[in-house]
DNA sequence: AAAAAGCCGAACCGTACGGTACGGTACGCA
DNA sequence: TGCGTACCGTACCGTACGGTTCGGCTTTTT
């Protein structure tokens, strides 16, 4: 048997479930988005995915295992975008930050993200918040990773200045997201101005540079 | 029958439910905090509150009405603190803002707030997000009201400058809360530095003044 | 005092869910 | 050809929940 070398990301995205199981999880995800957490019963999943409940329990153990598998599957689908060449100019760095903010707003307001977060939050009081920790771990990894690399690159090139990268990231997150996420989780409808994600991103990055800029970023 | 004059706030806080109903709702709130949304069944509430299910349905209609009543009851308990005399000096204004930020962090990380938000978010996909809108309306009113008065006072006295009071408030909210709220909703444990609420509040207000200050607030 | 109303505790009903068991079928393999 | 394995579809079971009904007790009203 040939031993192939896989990165961790590839192991995560390919080797966790069989294709058939992935198809079932995809169907479950669609059910979740369409009907909310209440629609995610084992019988409905089995019917919609053309599989048997027996197989569900054989593959995923119990309902909690199935929910965890759904989260893991969704995380394996999302690739971190735009981690390509790091910006070398101030303008490019600002552009990267705006793109990051825009991507973050887009992802968090997506149907799938909202449905999964609602599911995990709704069950956070049971199970020692098992699903919640899973969402945080899987969702935060790519966000924090990409933001960390970006912020560090900006600092080393003198575009921004900060003491704690973690604190700088949390400020960036707050400026970008504000109460956007929680309000959408609660089902609120957005203001017209909030629907313009790129404008929101640009405004937030402007404020971020006011707080953390060195002056080298405004020509 | 003597006609007494009540303010809207007094009507909200006193005249909505009878004392007996308030006691039942208080018990339901305790059950919710202790056991999460799943523990909030009609049978359990009736048993814990020493009342009958028949009374629950007579008073609140159905389960959704009961949940809505719990949210309304909790909102009626929370009084807006510190809306007393408006600050006349820059130092007092900064102090007021820090107190507001500290109160906001304290309230949002409280057991009751987290439990109610989890409940509303978990059901946001059903009922046209009825509970979610109720939480937003009842919870946002006092926060936005207090912050709006404070920001407007600061602007009129020249301590801060902004075009849109709404945008300024959302920025303030983002700087103070960051991902604090969502992470706690998901069951995350806070970092040691995040547990120091007053330090978090002070740091956030410093950043807020950097963005919106006029220079008149730093002597 | 009698009637009415409000309420409690418990029993009850229909439904829906999580989880299991069973018969039947397609496929890989010796 | 026969056997094992994996799977599907369905039926089934126990439980729990939302909601209703009923008998009996207490308080209020007339």
Quick one: closest CA in A to B119, which residue? A122
Per-residue pLDDT for B73 more than 70? yes
Three-state DSSP class for residue B213: strand
The answer to whether the Cβ–Cβ distance between B124 and A118 falls below 8 Å is yes
Residues A158, A214: contact at Cβ < 8 Å?
Answer: yes
Alpha-carbon distance values, B201 to A91, B92, B149 (Å):
32, 15, 19
- Angle formed by the axes of helices B165-177 and A165-177, to 10°? 140
pLDDT value of residue A218: 57
Quick one: closest CA in B to A188, which residue? B133
pLDDT value of residue B142: 87
Check residue A160 and report its DSSP letter.
B
Per-residue pLDDT for B218 more than 80? no
| Residues engaging strand C (CB under 7 angstroms) | A 38, 40-44, 52-54, 57, 62-63; B 18, 20, 46, 50-55, 58
Which strand C nucleotides have any atom less than 7 A from protein CB atoms?
Answer: 7-11, 16-22
How far, in Å, CA of A93 to CA of A146, rounded?
A: 13
Mean pLDDT of B65-78: 94
Average pLDDT across chain B, whole number: 90
List the single residue in A123, A178, A188 with the smallest CB-CB distance to B174.
A178
B185 at the A interface (CB within 8 A)?
Answer: yes
The answer to whether the Cβ–Cβ distance between B38 and A183 falls below 8 Å is no
Point out the nucleotide closest to B39 (alpha carbon to C1′). Answer: D17
Per-residue pLDDT for B150 more than 50? yes
A186 at the B interface (CB within 8 A)?
Answer: yes
B124 at the A interface (CB within 8 A)?
Answer: yes
* Model pTM above 0.95: no
Per-residue pLDDT for B83 more than 60? yes
Nearest CA among A174, A175, A67 for reference residue A126:
A67
Q: Which positions ≥6 away from A143 have C-beta within 8 Å?
A: A104
Alpha-carbon distance values, A211 to A50, A160, A187 (Å):
54, 9, 32
A148 sits in which H/E element = helix A130-156
Residues B203, B149: contact at Cβ < 8 Å?
Answer: no
Residues of chain B with C-beta less than 8 angstroms from the C-beta of A123: 122
Q: How far is the CA of B38 from the C1' of C4 (A)?
A: 39
pLDDT value of residue A217: 54
Measure A163 CA to nearest chain B CA, in Å.
13
pLDDT value of residue B16: 83
In B36-179, alpha helices (H): 42-49, 53-60, 63-77, 90-108, 111-122, 130-156, 165-177
Measure A204 CA to nearest chain B CA, in Å.
9
Per-residue pLDDT for B211 more than 80? yes
Per-residue pLDDT 10s for chain A (219 aa) are 333 343 444 444 455 899 999 999 999 999 999 999 999 999 999 999 999 999 999 999 999 999 999 999 999 988 776 667 889 999 999 999 999 999 999 999 999 999 999 999 999 988 889 999 999 999 988 899 999 999 999 999 999 999 999 999 999 999 999 999 999 999 999 999 999 999 999 999 999 999 999 976 554
Residue A14: CB atoms within 10 Å: 11
């Amino acid at each position: 048997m040939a031993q192939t070398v896989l990165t961790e990301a590839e192991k995560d995205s390919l080797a966790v479930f069989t294709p058939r199981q992935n198809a079932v999880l995809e169907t479950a995800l669609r059910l979740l988005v369409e009907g909310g957490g209440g629609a995610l019963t084992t019988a409905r999943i089995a019917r919609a995915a053309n599989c048997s409940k027996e197989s569900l329990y054989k593959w995923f153990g119990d309902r909690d295992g199935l929910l965890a598998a759904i989260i893991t599957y969704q995380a394996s689908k999302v690739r971190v975008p735009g981690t390509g060449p790091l910006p070398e100019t101030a303008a490019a760095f600002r552009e990267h930050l705006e793109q990051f903010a825009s991507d973050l707003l887009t992802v968090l307001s997506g149907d799938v993200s909202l449905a999964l977060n609602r599911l995990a939050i709704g069950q956070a009081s049971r199970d020692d918040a098992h699903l919640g920790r899973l969402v945080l771990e899987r969702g935060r990894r790519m966000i924090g990773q990409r933001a960390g690399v970006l912020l560090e690159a900006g600092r080393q090139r003198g575009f921004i200045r900060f003491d704690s990268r973690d604190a700088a990231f949390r400020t960036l997150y707050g400026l970008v997201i504000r109460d956007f996420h929680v309000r959408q989780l609660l089902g609120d409808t957005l203001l017209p101005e909030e629907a313009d994600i790129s404008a929101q991103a640009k405004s937030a990055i402007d404020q971020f540079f006011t707080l953390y800029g060195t002056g080298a970023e405004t020509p």
